Each structure stands twice: as structure tokens, then as C-alpha cells.
Amino acid sequence: MFLPRRRQFITAILSAAVLSACGGGGGSAPAPSIKSVTPGDTQIVIDWVQEPGVEYWLWFKAGDTISAGEKTASYRLNVSAPYILTGLTNDTQYAITINGRTNGGPGGPGSAVQTATPRAAGSVWLAGGALGSTNALRSVAYGLSSSSATTYAYVAVGDTGVIYSSPAYVSASALSWTQVRPASGAALNAVLYALAKYVAVGDGGAVLTSTDTTTWTAATSGSSAKLNALATNSSTLVAVGANGTILHSGDGTTWTAATTVPTTNDLHGVTYSALGLWVAVGANGTLLTSSDAVTWTAVSSGTTATLKAAASMSTVNSTTGGVTYSIVAVGNGGVIVSSTTGTAWNVQTQGSANLNAVASSSRYAALGDNGAVYSSTDGTTWAAASSPNSNTMYGVIHADNIFTAVGAAGNSIYSY
């Protein structure tokens, strides 16, 4: 009798070990309660009531119905709320459900099915986080929060040299701004992240750089002119400013003046197009192009209105694989000029408000005085969007599938 009992004991121990390895003792969690499903640009943000000790699975597919564990559905494992579901197709409806388990048990019942349709950013705008400043903010940038970090941050600069920073959007909510440089010194008119650092430029040829958003170091531009705008092609920085000033740099700290600039008009905006072309714009409809940032050529913009900002976009045809290039500049009186070549420009007017800023993703967003906002998928056909306030916006960026704009009296708005 001893041997059989011993074998039974050993068998029981082995069975328990196998069950433990396979998640024995785990269970199904009740269907979670989804709090919100918010569509964005190629993404949906899902938030739900997350219970301690529960592992959640998110199931999704195009359409309006879905069930947890469905073989035709896609899924994400071990997700936490809020979760940003990325890589989706704009203007396609998706059905979503979430289920959970504990200790490796079987998945429980799915939550009530929710649907959402991602759409390109730029059509719906919301009030951004308060900056607690009365200074006008002129520009906003997005990049790494420090040289050794893998997290990202936003930086906004403005009048009297004020600088704010915010962690990147955790979900579809406003940024949380913190002042990192006091309002003292020369106004800062532009900022961007390039060459592993933030670079800001401003009045009197001021240049500041930072690798962590909080510690800023002055650099020498070699110019006393007001610098209004920055652009990069990932290896070179270009700054433009008053009296036809154009500077270029390979590191953000050492700057060289362009050798040929055929204007003394103030320059207010600059962009780099994948056509291999730099475009600078300014007063009296000034429009200059360059292939090397050193030698610039005057091109007729077709308008005498002051042009305030420029942006460019490349669109890939999903069927043919062909690429379409476009460049846009916006300015006073609602003037918008656009081109697919950089040589011939089309002129149109949207409203009457001055347009001060433009950025691009899969579409353009142009913003200006008194809450004016417009969007376009090709640079030529524009539609008005609704702003959450009537403040004037001076700077805008598209990053992480979100447009973020800053402007008068420390105001910010965003569109996802």
C-alpha cells in the first residue's frame, strides 16, 4: 500500500505544478466598463475602468460589430488604460471591445461594443493646457525630453524670451505646461528640434539651444537682425529674419550667412520640401528658393501681401506608389500661395484674417488672427475649421498625430 500512495502523492504534486505553469488558478474577469472611445488621426484612444490585478486584451476590427476572441479580429495584449490604438485607417469605422483575466486564466466576456472612426487631424480643435502667461507665444516644437531619454516633450517660446515645456500627450487631453525660462531678455520667435537638440531664435540675432528643455545655452548667430523662423532638412538648419537675413548651420550653434540673397525685405517663414528645395517667404510677397541654403533665387509668388509662414508636404498614392509634392505659404489678408514645383505658384484668399502659421501632416493646417483656422489635403482646396476660442495663433506643429498651436496671451489649442 505504501508504493501506490506515494505515487498518488507525487502525481498530485506534478499536476499542481503543471496547472501553475499553465496559469492554473486564474480566472476570467468581469467585462470592463469603457469610459470613452475618442477618434484621432490614424488612431483611437480608449479609456476604461481598470481593476487591480486584471490583464486586459483589446479586440478591434473594421465595421460595427465584434466579440472578444473573434478569429477575424485584431488584438492587443496586456494593455493599460488609457490605451492609444495606432496604425488605423482614417475615415474607416472600427468596432472595439475589451475583456480581461486574472492570473493567466481564460479571457472573460467582452465589454459593450464601441465604435469610432479615425479622421485626419486639423478639422476639430480643442482648448489646450493653460500656460499661465500673458506673453504671446510665437512657436512650438516637439522632440526628446533629454539627450538620454526615450520620452518626448513639447517646447513653446515667446515674447520677452519666455520658454515653456510639457510632457508629450499621454492620451487625448491637453498638454501640461511648465515655465522653464523666465520672461526676460530678447523675444524668441521660433523653435524647433533638430540635430539632437532644441534650437530657438529671436530678436537681435538671439540663438539658444537645449538638450533637456530646461537648461538653455546662448549661441552666436553672427547677426544682430531679428530672426523670425527656422526649418531643417535633418542635416542643416536655416534661420530667416529681418532685412533679408538668411543663416544656415550644421549643428545649431555655429551659423553662417547665406552668400546670395536677392532681397532686403523682412523674411518671416521658411520650409524645406522633399523636392530638395528650401523656400523662404516674407514682406511684399517675397518668395525665395534654394537647393543648398547658401545661394537663393527670387521667384514670383503672384501676390504683394506679406507672407508669414510656409510648410511642405509629400503625399504617396497608395495605388500607384507615386509621390505628389506641395508647398504652401500663408499670409496677411488670408492669402495662401501654393505650388507643386516651387517655381509656379497659385494664389487664393481664405477669409480676411491674417494667417500667421501653417504646418502639415497628411493635410495642412493654417491658423491666424481671431481664431481663424483652415485645413487642406492638397494645399489648394481649403475648408474652414472651428477654433475653441478667438485668440490669434502664431505657431503650429504637427507631431505624434496631433496639431498643436500656440498664440496670444499664452493660449494654446490642439487637434487630434
244-291, pLDDT tens digit by residue? 999 999 999 999 999 999 999 999 999 999 999 999 999 999 999 999
Distance (Å, whole) CA 315 – CA 275: 12
Tell me which range, 2-11, 37-46, 366-375, is most confidently predicted by mean pLDDT.
366-375
Which pLDDT does position 21 carry in this prediction? 31
Whether the predicted pLDDT of 147 surpasses 60: yes
What is the 8-class DSSP label of residue 146?
A: S
Q: Distance (Å, rounded) from C-alpha 199 to C-alpha 210?
A: 7
pLDDT at 2: 33
| 27 neighbors 103 (Cβ within 8 angstroms) | yes
pLDDT for res 25: 67
pLDDT at site 18? 30
Confidence grade of residue 20 (pLDDT, cut at 50, 70, 90): very low
Query: In the predicted model, is pLDDT for residue 5 greater than 80?
Result: no
> H helices within 258-416, ranges in order?
none
pLDDT of residue 226: 98
For the chain, list the domains and their CATH numbers. Answer: 27-116 (2.60.40.10), 126-415 (2.130.10.10)
Question: Cell numbers 528650401 label which residue?
Answer: 278
Instruction: Write the DSSP string, 372-406.
Output: -EEEESSSSSEEE-B-SS---EEEEEEETTEEEEE
Instruction: Assign 11 a pLDDT band (cuts: 50, 70, 90).
Output: very low
Query: C-alpha 158: how far from its chain's center?
Result: 19
pLDDT of the residue at 319: 81
What's the rounded Cα separation, in Å, for the pair 242 and 111? 59
Which three cell numbers, joined as nine digits, stand for 120?
485626419
Residue whose C-alpha is closest to residue 400's, from 416, 378, 376: 416
The helix/strand/coil state of 10 is helix
**DSSP secondary structure of 202-217:** EGGG-EEEESSSS--E
**How much is the mean pLDDT over the chain?**
92
At residue 171 the predicted structure's pLDDT band, cuts being 50, 70 and 90, is low
The pLDDT-based confidence of 172 (bands split at 50, 70, 90) is: low
Cis peptide bond N-terminal to 82, omega within 30: yes
pLDDT digits (tens, 9 = 90+) for 200-240: 999 999 999 999 999 999 999 999 999 999 999 999 999 99
Read off the pLDDT band of 134 (50, 70, 90).
confident
Considering only residues 172 and 178, tell me which one the structure prediction assigns the higher pLDDT: 178
Q: What is the pLDDT of residues 61-101, one digit of tens each?
A: 999 999 999 999 999 999 999 999 999 999 999 999 999 99
Q: In the prediction, which pLDDT does 169 show?
A: 84
pTM, whole model, 2 decimals? 0.84
Quote the pLDDT of residue 23: 42
Q: Are 199 and 207 within 8 A, CB to CB?
A: yes
Rg over alpha carbons for the chain, rounded to the nearest Å, is 26
Q: Calculate mean pLDDT across residues 313-329.
A: 89
Q: What is the pLDDT of residues 369-387, one digit of tens each?
A: 999 999 999 999 999 999 9
Q: How confident is the model at residue 10 (pLDDT cuts 50, 70, 90)?
A: very low
